[in-house]
Amino acid sequence: MARYLALLLALAWWPCANANDPLPSELPPGEEEIALRTAETAGVLIYRHDQAAAAATDALAKVRGFKRNKQLQGWITEQVGHEILVTFVGGAKGEPTAALYRVRVGADGKLLDQPTILKTPEPLTEFEAAAVKARAVAVTSQFQPCAEKYNPVVLPAGERLDRWVVYMLPATTKRSVVPLGGSYRFDINVETGDVAIRPYTRTCIQLQNDPKAVGLMITHLLDAVPTEVHVFWSIWADKPIYVATPPHGTLWVVDKSAIRLVKRRNAEG
């Protein structure tokens, strides 16, 4: 758990390019290696939490009254050992947000048992309360959407539970299109209210996921190496994504959870 929190802390406040910044320079070898390994680990983590939430939602959709529950406000996820606990929260107007349903998901993405329906809503734990606050900040922030619906992935960035990373990922059920454009990360301090928003693309680009294609291709201008979002979408698409990065169009392949250099180009090509 300590390693997990340290990773997210480094990731959350890692310097990154903004959409209006000039093209980034190539990273020194040591920094490049750290950035690549961090992106790999974080991308897998994001995917696991997103898929746990999806599995939990599918299971609860079969529960009578879940879809019509007007008190439901959303979900949060928490790493508990090798499991992920998905908690659906909500409450009546004017009442504190509480836990309404809980679902335990294993490392393989499958439910460990039947969803727990809390007939009497339970008060949120300290972790859950902070996660709900971070989630609320992200979903109500002003950003340029590329989809009607978004799936938030809320992760802690420190043991004190004041700093959080929220990934806003375009929701889709079409496997023929990878909606990489419009993916965002929010670095949030729930105590001070500070929010830093970073996009991962400059447009609402979508990658056509032809079943016959052996890989996908994109030019990424905001970082000198592929990011955790490229890892997430490669796992989601079940296909390698080739990523060309500045300053000279260096080519990488993001093959699900692994990022490899294909060809490093210099100023002369």
The answer, yes or no, to whether residue 11 has pLDDT greater than 80, is no
Q: What is the pLDDT of residues 217-229, one digit of tens each?
A: 999 999 999 999 9
Where in the chain are the domains? 2-263
Strand 163-170 to 184-189 pairing: antiparallel
∠ CA 189-34-38, nearest 5°, is 55
User: Across residues 58-77, what is the average pLDDT?
Assistant: 95
Predicted pLDDT of residue 164 = 97
Q: Look over the chain and give the mean of its residue pLDDT values, rounded to a whole number.
A: 91
The answer, yes or no, to whether residue 245 has pLDDT greater than 50, is yes
Percent of the chain's residues with pLDDT above 90? 84
Tokens 């890989």, residue located:
215
Which residues are paired to 166 by β-bridges?
Answer: 154, 186
Predicted pLDDT of residue 34 = 96
Number of Cβ within 10 Å of residue 199's Cβ equals: 21
Q: Are the C-beta atoms of 84 and 77 separated by less than 8 Å? A: yes
State residue 193 phi and psi, 5-degree precision: 85, 5
Strand 184-189 to 83-90 pairing: unpaired
Predicted pLDDT of residue 18 = 57
The answer, yes or no, to whether residue 43 has pLDDT greater than 80, is yes
Strand 216-219 to 177-178 pairing: unpaired
The answer, yes or no, to whether residue 5 has pLDDT greater than 80, is no
From CA 150, how far away is CA 2, in angstroms rounded? 29
